Structure 1
Amino acid sequence: MSDATMSIDAARVELLLNELRLPGVKAIWPKIAAQSDKEGWPAARFLAALAEHEAADRTRRRIERHMVEARLPAGKTLAAFDFESTPMVSKAQVMALAGGDVWLKAGANLLLFGPPGGGKSHLAAAIGLALVENGWRVLFQRTTDLVQRLQTARLGLALEAYIAKLDRYDLLILDDIAYVSKDRDETSVLFELIAARYERRSLLITANQPFGEWGRVFPDQAMTLAAIDRLVHHATILEMNVESYRRKAALDRKRGPGRKPIHATPRELENAAD
Structure 2
Amino acid sequence: MNPNPNPAADAARLAFLLGELRLPTIKYLWPDIAVQSDKNGWPAARFLSALAEHEVADRERRRIERHLLDARLPIGKSLDNFDFNAVPVISKAHITALATGNAWIETGANCLVFGPAGVGKSHLAAAIGRALIEVGYRVLFTRTTDLVQRLQIARQELTLETAITKLDRYHLIILDDISYVTKDQAETSVLFELISRRYEHRSILITANQAFGEWNKIFPDQAMTLAAVDRLVHHATILEMNVESYRRRTAIERKKAPGGPTTRQSPKASS
TM over 0.5: yes
Quote the Cα distance in structure 2 between the aligned partners of 1:150 and 1:202.
18
What does residue 223 of structure 1 align with? 224
Instruction: Report the aligned-residue RMSD.
Output: 1.6
What does residue 168 of structure 2 align with? 167
What does residue 99 of structure 1 align with? 100
What does residue 248 of structure 2 align with? 247
* 1:54 equivalenced with 2:55 (yes/no): yes
Counterpart amino acid of residue 109 in structure 2: A
Q: Show CA shifts across 1:126-152 (max 9, x none).
A: 111111111111100000000000001
What does residue 267 of structure 1 align with? none
Q: Relative to structure 2, which stretch is displaced further, 2-11 or 92-101?
A: 2-11
Q: 1:257 to 1:98 in 2, by over 3 A?
A: farther
Quote the Cα distance in structure 2 between the aligned partners of 1:2 and 1:257.
82
What does residue 78 of structure 1 align with? 79
After superposition, residues 177-196 of structure 1 pair within 5 angstroms as: 177-196=178-197
Q: Relative to structure 2, which stretch is displaced further, 4-13 or 171-180?
A: 4-13
Q: 1:212 to 1:3 in 2, by over 3 A?
A: farther
After superposition, residues 10-49 of structure 1 pair within 5 angstroms as: 10-49=11-50
What does residue 123 of structure 2 align with? 122
What does residue 147 of structure 1 align with? 148
SS in 2 for 1:110: strand
User: Runs of 4+ in structure 1 displaced over 2 angstroms?
Assistant: 1-4
Quote the Cα distance in structure 1 between the aligned partners of 2:146 and 2:3.
64
Could you tell me the TM-score, scaled by structure 2's length?
0.92
SS in 2 for 1:241: coil
Quote the Cα distance in structure 1 between the aligned partners of 2:258 and 2:43.
64
Could you tell me the TM-score, scaled by structure 1's length?
0.92
Alpha-carbon offset, residue 168 of structure 1: 0.6
Q: Show CA shifts across 1:77-109 (max 9, x none).
A: 111111111111001000000111111001000
Counterpart amino acid of residue 121 in structure 1: S
Alpha-carbon offset, residue 184 of structure 1: 0.3
Quote the Cα distance in structure 2 between the aligned partners of 1:35 and 1:57.
20
SS in 2 for 1:99: coil
Unaligned runs of 5+ in 2: 261-271
Quote the Cα distance in structure 2 between the aligned partners of 1:56 and 1:77.
22
SS in 2 for 1:101: coil
Quote the Cα distance in structure 2 between the aligned partners of 1:143 and 1:217.
11
Over the matched positions of the two proteins, sequence identity in percent amounts to 69
Counterpart amino acid of residue 33 in structure 2: I
Quote the Cα distance in structure 1 between the aligned partners of 2:69 and 2:258.
37
SS in 2 for 1:139: strand
Alpha-carbon offset, residue 54 of structure 1: 1.1
Quote the Cα distance in structure 2 between the aligned partners of 1:27 and 1:223.
57
Quote the Cα distance in structure 2 between the aligned partners of 1:72 and 1:30.
38
Counterpart amino acid of residue 256 in structure 1: A
What does residue 213 of structure 1 align with? 214
Unaligned runs of 5+ in 1: 260-274
> How many corresponding residue pairs?
259
Quote the Cα distance in structure 1 between the aligned partners of 2:64 and 2:152.
30
Q: Show CA shifts across 1:194-215 (max 9, x none).
A: 0000001000000000001100
* 1:5 equivalenced with 2:15 (yes/no): no
Alpha-carbon offset, residue 4 of structure 1: 7.0
Q: Relative to structure 2, which stretch is displaced further, 213-222 or 75-84?
A: 75-84
Counterpart amino acid of residue 168 in structure 2: D
Alpha-carbon offset, residue 42 of structure 1: 1.5
Quote the Cα distance in structure 1 between the aligned partners of 2:226 and 2:4.
77
SS in 1 for 2:174: strand
Alpha-carbon offset, residue 257 of structure 1: 3.8
SS in 2 for 1:236: strand
